[in-house]
Structures are given as C-alpha cells and as structure tokens.
Amino acid sequence: MGTTAPVAGGDAMATHQLINRLHRIEGQVRGIARMVEQDTYCIDVLTQVSAASRALQGVALVLLEQHMRHCLAEAARIGGSVEEARIKEASDAIARLVRS
C-alpha cells in the first residue's frame, strides 16, 4: 500500500492540522448518524453527507500536495525506477480521487 514516508513530510504542525481536520470530519459523520437515527429529512442528511465528502476531499488534496512536495521531489532526485514507481503511484492515487 505504499512506503513508510511520513504524512506531511514529517512536518509536525502540518500533521497536527490534518489530525484536527479529520477530528472535525469525524464529528460531522457522527452528526450525520444522529440525523439518520432521528429520522431527519433526507435532503438535510444528504446536505451534510455532501459537506463531509467535500471535507474529506480537502484532506486528500492536502495529502496529495504534501506527497508531491516531499515524496515525488525526493524520487525525482533519485531518478530511475524509483521515480517512475512514485509517479505511477501518485497518478493512480489521483485517478482514485477523481473517480470518487
């Protein structure tokens, strides 16, 4: 599933910010579950699902940017098969994001 490179290139502040965003999204998802349990109007639930999805996409974009800044830049310095493998890995990840 990839290598063991640190999230956010090892930047503790960036990692902390990502964790905070993910905790907020977690709260959003718990709120959606409560809405379903309380039989909230479907359109209101769908609106919240859409917001949570956009928030997760935002996290994915930050992670992708960090990956390009650190992992792909390092792979470009190394070159050869490492560079090609990392580019394919990033391309595949982008394709998954676009399809979701």
Read off the pLDDT of residues 29-67 as tens digits, 9 standing for 90 and up. Answer: 999 999 999 999 999 999 999 999 999 999 999 999 999
* Global confidence as pTM: 0.80
Which helix (H) or strand (E) covers residue 63, if one does? helix 42-67
Q: Are 70 and 9 in contact (CB under 8 A)?
A: yes
Tokens encoding 99? 């399809």
Domain 10-99 fold is: Methane Monooxygenase Hydroxylase; Chain G, domain 1 (1.20.58)
Residue 22: is its pLDDT beyond 60?
Answer: yes
Q: What amino acid is encoded at 38 in this protein? A: Q
